[in-house]
């Protein structure tokens, strides 16, 4: 393995994925390539249905692409999927839990898998729950009684309990109240300080601007632009001053972000 390769936590090369349902064919991803350097926060920005979750599922070895390769710290996500799973952790809106068990039982179960003692795990769980404004008393209730936002917080606690080398966050702050959102963003920044590489997807341009060292804009399964936010802003800037990532999205896709979201919502 050469040095250049080792400096990347993640290499996505020419990934395509088609879903067929009856006569409908959806090109969820089309020739997607990008690289994430070790220790970076990399954002994938795109509206609903643009392929973000499909991409995260492929990287986390849950889904096999039709074509292309994914490498995590130089290991092939298909051939070496067991090795790759050791490096990664994923948080997604449809987090899988034992829904009949309480939040704390679910979290202690995961802590056990990672060899964290119950005492240490409990301390850490309560600490994170408090920061995310999740009522500690409710941790003893079954997860099926939790609201979506509360389940999202439990999924985040689960991810923050362990220290993966590559953390995949699929819309980590969607559906959270503003305070919890800020806390999650702080956690993400602190994890980067501790050396974790983070890939996150988001609809939130302000969040991307705040957190990401580099971003890729994905639209209808294709990456239409990638680079440092400032580089993209420079390209899209033309004559406009004080350009935002919203403007960058408009420049590269021809659409305003809300217009696309509105269209997706109607369809």
Ligand X SMILES: Nc1ncnc2c1ncn2[C@@H]1O[C@H](COP(=O)(O)OP(=O)(O)OP(=O)(O)O)[C@@H](O)[C@H]1O
Q: Where does residue 38 rank: exposed (0-12), middle (13-18), buried (19+ CB within 10 A)?
A: middle
Q: Considering the complex, what minimum distance in angstroms separates the CB of residue 25 from ligand X?
A: 9
- Confirm or reject binding of residue 43 to ligand X (CB under 6 A): no
Of 49, 164, 172, 229, the one binding ligand X by CB under 6 A: 49
> Which does residue 26 touch among Mg ion, ligand X, none (CB within 5 to 8 A, set by kind)?
ligand X
Of 8, 42, 50, 131, the one binding ligand X by CB under 6 A: 50
- Yes or no: say if 43 and 202 are a contact pair by the CB < 8 Å rule: yes
Closest CA to 207 of 175, 243, 182, 179: 182
Encoded one letter per residue, x for contact with ligand X by CB under 6 A and - for no contact, window 68-97 reads ------------------------------
Of 11, 12, 28, 53, the one binding Mg ion by CB under 5 A: 53
Q: Where does residue 181 rank: exposed (0-12), middle (13-18), buried (19+ CB within 10 A)?
A: middle
DSSP 44: E
131, two tokens: 């920061």
75, two tokens: 């290991």
**# of chain residues touching ligand X (CB under 6 A):** 12
- Yes or no: say if 61 and 51 are a contact pair by the CB < 8 Å rule: no
> Which does residue 89 touch among Mg ion, ligand X, none (CB within 5 to 8 A, set by kind)?
none
- Confirm or reject binding of residue 253 to Mg ion (CB under 5 A): no
User: Of residues 51-70, which lie at the interface with ligand X (CB under 6 A)?
Assistant: 51-54
* Binding residues for ligand X (CB under 6 A): 19, 21, 26, 28, 46, 48-54
């Amino acid at each position: 393995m050469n040095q250049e390769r080792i400096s990347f936590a993640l290499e996505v090369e020419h990934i395509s994925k088609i879903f067929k349902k009856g006569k409908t064919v959806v090109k969820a991803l089309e020739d997607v390539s990008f690289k994430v350097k070790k220790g970076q926060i990399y954002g994938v920005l795109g509206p609903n249905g643009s392929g973000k979750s499909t991409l995260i599922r492929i990287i986390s070895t849950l889904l096999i692409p039709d074509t292309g390769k994914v490498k995590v710290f130089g290991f092939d996500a298909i051939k070496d999927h067991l090795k790759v799973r050791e490096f990664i952790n994923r948080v997604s809106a449809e987090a899988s839990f034992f829904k009949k068990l309480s939040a704390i039982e679910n979290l202690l179960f995961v802590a056990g898998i990672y060899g964290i003692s119950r005492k240490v795990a409990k301390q850490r769980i309560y600490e994170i729950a408090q920061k995310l404004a999740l009522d500690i008393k409710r941790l003893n209730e079954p997860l099926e009684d939790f609201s979506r936002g509360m389940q999202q917080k439990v999924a985040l606690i689960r991810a923050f309990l362990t220290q993966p080398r590559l953390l995949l966050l699929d819309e980590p702050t969607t559906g959270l109240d503003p305070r919890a959102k800020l806390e999650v963003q702080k956690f993400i920044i602190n994890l980067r300080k501790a050396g974790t590489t983070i890939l996150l997807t988001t609809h939130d341009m302000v969040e991307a601007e705040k957190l990401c060292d580099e971003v890729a804009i994905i639209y209808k399964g294709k990456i239409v632009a990638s680079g440092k936010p400032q580089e993209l802003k420079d390209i899209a800037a033309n004559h406009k001053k004080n350009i935002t990532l919203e403007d960058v999205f408009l420049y590269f896709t021809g659409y305003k972000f809300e217009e696309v979201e509105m269209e997706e919502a109607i369809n």
